Chains A and B, each alone.
Chain A
C-alpha cells in the first residue's frame, strides 16, 4: 500500500518541523531545510500519482480477467468496472480505485479456482492468474527502489541508545 500523496507530504513536513530542523545546528542547513518545506507546500497542490503506470496496471488486470473468464465462463461475475471511455478520461485517483477493484475481482477468481477441481480449464485459469500476479509484482518492482534501512540503522544506532528497542 502506498500512502496518499497528501499524507506523505504532510508527514515529511511534520518530520522536518518537529524532528529535523530543531536539531540542525548549521544556519545554512537549517534555512535549506525550511526551504524544503516551502517547496513541498507549493508542490503539494500540483501533484498526483503518475497516471501512465496506473493506466497500465488497469489494462493488465482487465486483460487477465477477460482471459480467465474466457476459459471459465462459469466463474461468478465481478462488479461492473469503468468503461474504456471512462478509463481514458479517468484521473489517477479513479484509476487507482479501478485497479483496486480489479485486484478484488482477481482475488475472488483465485478463491473460486481454488475451490474447484483443478483440471482442464480451471487449471489453465489458475496458471494464468498465477502468471498475471507474478508479472504485475515484477512490474511494480521496477518502480521500487532498494530500501535504505541499513543507512537509517547506521544513522540512528550505535551504543546503548539503540540497545533497548
Chain B
C-alpha cells in the first residue's frame, strides 16, 4: 500500500513537478491541481503547465489521471490507456493527446498518465424523468458521430501500432471466454455471496460464447457519459481503462444496455438498435449478427452488475468513502432483473 495520499492535490503536485522536470529535461511550471469529483475509478486532476520544447515556450492545460490503490479496479496500470491514446492520435477517434505515463507507484503513489485537457461536457444517461436526454436534432447529430468514432476505432489497424501491446484475446474463439473469465474472477473477488442469477448467466455465457468475426481494439466502456461534446461535436472519447483487444461486438452490446437509456427507446439516448446496426455496417463493412449483439448486451449487463459488486466491495473494504459506491450496492436487484430480462431475449 502506498504511503502517498493520492487524493491530496498538494502532495501529488510536488511529486508530479519533480517527475515532469525529468521528463521535459528542464524547468517546468505546474499550477495548482484541481480535483474533478466525477467518475468512480481513476482520480482526475486538472492543472496548467508551462515548459520549453525545442526552444519554444509551451503552455498547456493538462489532465492527470491517477489509479488509486483504493479504486475499484486497483491495482491499476496506466500503460494500456496511454498506448491506446497515443496510437489513436490523428485517427478518426477523437482522443486527448497523451503526454506521459508511469506505472511505478513510487513516483506518485499510484500509476498515472498525463494527457491534454479537452473542452466539452459529458452528457449522462440519467435524466430527471427517465426520458430523452437530447432533442431530436442533437440526438441524430451526436449519434452519427458516436457510431463513426466507434467504427474508426474498430477499423483501426492495431497490429503494427503500440496499442497491440495492451493485451486481450486475439484468438477469435477465445474473445468471449477471456471476458467471461476476467469478470468471473472479479465477481468472486468482490462478493463472497453467490447470486443465483449471476451464476445462471455465467453458465449461459459459457454455453453460447460466440466466435469473433474479427479482432479489434475494444474500448470496454463505450457509452453515453464517456464522451465529451462541445458545440454539437464529439470532442473526445474518454475512460479507456477497460480497453483491450477482442471482439468489437462487445462494444456494440455494451452500448445497448438498458442502464444507458432508461426509458428512452434509443440506445445511449442516441439511436435505435437497428440504426446502430445499419450505420455501423455501412461504415465498417462488417456485418452485425443480431444474435451476437444480444449475447454481448446480456454479457454487458452481467458485467455492469459485477461492477456494482465492485463498488460495494470497494466502499466496504478500501475506505473509499464515495457514497455513490454504496448506493450502487443497493441497486443489485434492479441490475439482476435487467440481466434476467436481457438473457431471456438473447436465449
A152 lies within 8 A of chain B by Cβ: yes
Interface hits, A113-165 → B, CB 8 Å: 114, 129-130, 133-134, 137-138, 140-141, 143-145, 147-154, 156-165
Chain B interface helix/strand/loop/mixed:
mixed
Q: In the bound complex, do residue B38 and residue A11 qualify as a contact, i.e. CB atoms below 8 Å apart?
A: no
Partner of B337, one of A107, A114, A141, A161: A141
Contacts of A150 in B (CB 8 A): 124, 126-128
Q: In the bound complex, do residue A144 and residue B321 qualify as a contact, i.e. CB atoms below 8 Å apart?
A: no
A63 lies within 8 A of chain B by Cβ: no
Q: In the bound complex, do residue B333 and residue A164 qualify as a contact, i.e. CB atoms below 8 Å apart?
A: no
B75 lies within 8 A of chain A by Cβ: no
Q: Which of A1-9, A31-39, A87-95 contacts B (4 or more CB under 8 A)?
A: A1-9
Q: In the bound complex, do residue B228 and residue A163 qualify as a contact, i.e. CB atoms below 8 Å apart?
A: yes
Using known A-B contacts A100-B193, A110-B203, determine if residue A141 contacts B334 with beta carbons closer than 8 Å: yes
Q: In the bound complex, do residue B326 and residue A3 qualify as a contact, i.e. CB atoms below 8 Å apart?
A: yes
Using known A-B contacts A1-B191, A147-B327, determine if residue A7 contacts B315 with beta carbons closer than 8 Å: yes
A18 lies within 8 A of chain B by Cβ: yes
A137-B200 Cα distance, complex, nearest whole Å: 14
Chain B proximity of A94: nearest CB distance (Å): 15
Partner of B316, one of A3, A100, A114, A134: A3
Chain A proximity of B244: nearest CB distance (Å): 20
Chain B proximity of A159: nearest CB distance (Å): 7
Chain A proximity of B98: nearest CB distance (Å): 13
A15 lies within 8 A of chain B by Cβ: yes
A110-B199 Cα distance, complex, nearest whole Å: 8
Q: In the bound complex, do residue A138 and residue B46 qualify as a contact, i.e. CB atoms below 8 Å apart?
A: no
**Which residue of A is nearest B331, CB measured?**
A147
Question: What interface size band does chain A fall in?
Answer: 35 or more
Q: In the bound complex, do residue B313 and residue A1 qualify as a contact, i.e. CB atoms below 8 Å apart?
A: yes
Q: Which of B112-120, B149-157, B292-300 contacts A (4 or more CB under 8 A)?
A: B112-120
Q: In the bound complex, do residue B321 and residue A15 qualify as a contact, i.e. CB atoms below 8 Å apart?
A: yes
Contacts of B190 in A (CB 8 A): 1
A111-B340 Cα distance, complex, nearest whole Å: 16
B329 lies within 8 A of chain A by Cβ: yes
A58 lies within 8 A of chain B by Cβ: no
A86 lies within 8 A of chain B by Cβ: no
Using known A-B contacts A15-B321, A137-B337, A165-B38, determine if residue A3 contacts B118 with beta carbons closer than 8 Å: no
A15-B7 Cα distance, complex, nearest whole Å: 14
Using known A-B contacts A3-B326, A18-B321, determine if residue A165 contacts B315 with beta carbons closer than 8 Å: no
Partner of A133, one of B124, B127, B196, B315: B196
A111-B192 Cα distance, complex, nearest whole Å: 17
Q: How does the 8 Å CB contact mask read for B203-222 relative to A, with 1 for contact and 0 for none?
A: 10001000000000000000
Q: In the bound complex, do residue B332 and residue A163 qualify as a contact, i.e. CB atoms below 8 Å apart?
A: no
A39-B337 Cα distance, complex, nearest whole Å: 35
Contacts of B184 in A (CB 8 A): none
Contacts of B200 in A (CB 8 A): 110, 114, 130, 133
Chain A proximity of B185: nearest CB distance (Å): 17
Q: In the bound complex, do residue A1 and residue B329 qualify as a contact, i.e. CB atoms below 8 Å apart?
A: yes
Q: In the bound complex, do residue B323 and residue A11 qualify as a contact, i.e. CB atoms below 8 Å apart?
A: yes
B195 lies within 8 A of chain A by Cβ: yes
A12 lies within 8 A of chain B by Cβ: yes
Which residues on A are within 8 Å of B, measured CB to CB?
1-4, 7-8, 11-12, 14-15, 18-19, 100, 103-104, 106-107, 110-111, 114, 129-130, 133-134, 137-138, 140-141, 143-145, 147-154, 156-165
6 nearest CB pairs, A to B: A140-B333, A150-B126, A165-B38, A107-B199, A149-B126, A165-B39
Which residues on B are within 8 Å of A, measured CB to CB?
34, 36-39, 44, 46, 63, 96, 117-122, 124, 126-128, 190-197, 199-200, 203, 207, 225-226, 228, 238-239, 308-309, 312-313, 315-316, 321-324, 326-327, 329-334, 336-337, 340
* 17 A-B contacts (beta carbon < 8 Å): A1-B329, A14-B321, A107-B199, A130-B200, A133-B200, A133-B340, A137-B197, A140-B333, A143-B333, A144-B334, A147-B334, A152-B324, A153-B126, A154-B128, A158-B121, A163-B120, A165-B44
